[in-house]
Amino acid sequence: MGRFLVLITAFVVTLGGATFAGVHILSAVERQSTTTTESIQVGSLTRQYEVIKPTKTLPASAPIIVVLQGAASTTSNEIARDRIAPYADADEAEVVYPVAYEESWNAIGCCDGAAKANVNDVGFIEALVPKLDPGHTRPIYVVGYSVGGRLAYRLACTDPTLFDGMAVVKADPMPGCVVTTPMNVVVFSSQNDTYVPFKPGEPGKETPAATVQIATLEKDMECSSKPSSVKTYGSDSTTRWGPMTVTTWSCANGKTLEWAVDPRGQHGFPIPGSFGIGANQLIYSWITKTPVAPAPS
């Protein structure tokens, strides 16, 4: 419980004590959640994962959110960065953080220590999901940031029914990884990302450009030629990096594709305030099919 309170203090400090009119934000005293570190054997390796969940029993409709961290980041750093764990503190979801190998993931062909050691990260997540949700009785989603997003894409390409949907934050799939099965997807991009170029010809370390990848997803998931909605959150006068625009398409089999674009966020994880909306808020809204609302703090 002491560790939990330390994490909550970090969230409160990071969020700067934000309050929202008409919204009751649970205080640290009111929250009831636990964080446990568990293990699973995958081949010759013992892999670990952290589970953050309310002490109360969640309904079957409450989602499980599996978060794949960015490179060179500890699990605790990722928890503080993406701010998804407060949804567990607020009795709304169960949040799971698989522990990366040497702070890296093997998306098959990339990246860093995990790829060099040929670690079976696809097998790790495939073994983890049925342990978290035997029989797939609850909605379960994967969120991947940066190299974690590359692994999320790999899972969608090789095992498209493993999750009910995928959120990718500023990442590209590995070459040859194509999402051929329609699924619920939300992608976050930046117009000045130095890793994932926004348009063809712009500088960046990954391929394809964000606009090309979105067009590919539209085609492969049989989405409508015109968006079903376009929404803008925040403005230059209220955000540090400009407003975030969210475009939604209807796709085959009742699935949706969402594309959230910030103009000046570079390769950072979108947080509340800087963009007028945080990726955590939009991801939870997308998962639960509810209007975007202030996140629990």
d(CA 208, CA 67): 23
- Which region among 1-10, 91-100, 191-200 has the lowest average model confidence (pLDDT)? 1-10
User: What pLDDT sits at residue 269?
Assistant: 96
210: exposed, middle or buried (C-beta count within 10 Å: 0-12, 13-18, 19+)? buried
- Read off the pLDDT band of 55 (50, 70, 90): very high
Whole-prediction pTM? 0.89
Hey, what domains does the chain have and what are their CATH numbers?
A: 2-288 (3.40.50.1820)
pLDDT for the residue 239: 87
- In a 13 Å sphere around the CA of 267, the CA atoms on its Cβ side amount to 16
Predicted confidence (pLDDT) per residue in 224-240, tens digit: 999 999 999 998 888 88
Q: How far is CA 272 from CA 18, 73, 93, 200, 218, in A?
A: 10, 20, 19, 29, 28
Pairing of strands 140-145, 184-190: unpaired
pLDDT (0 to 100) of residue 18 = 34
Check if the beta carbon of residue 148 is closer than 8 Å to that of residue 171.
yes
Q: What is the mean pLDDT of residues 181-188?
A: 96
Average pLDDT, the chain: 90
What was the pLDDT predicted at 276? Answer: 84
- pLDDT > 70 fraction of the chain, expressed in percent and rounded: 90
Question: Is 37 a residue whose pLDDT tops 80?
Answer: yes
User: What are the respective helix, strand and coil percentages of the chain, to the nearest 5?
Assistant: 25, 25, 50
Q: What is the pLDDT of residues 113-133, one digit of tens each?
A: 999 999 999 999 999 999 999
The H-or-E segment that residue 244 falls in is strand 244-250
Dihedral class, residue 205 (left if φ above 0, else alpha if ψ from -120 to 50, else beta): alpha
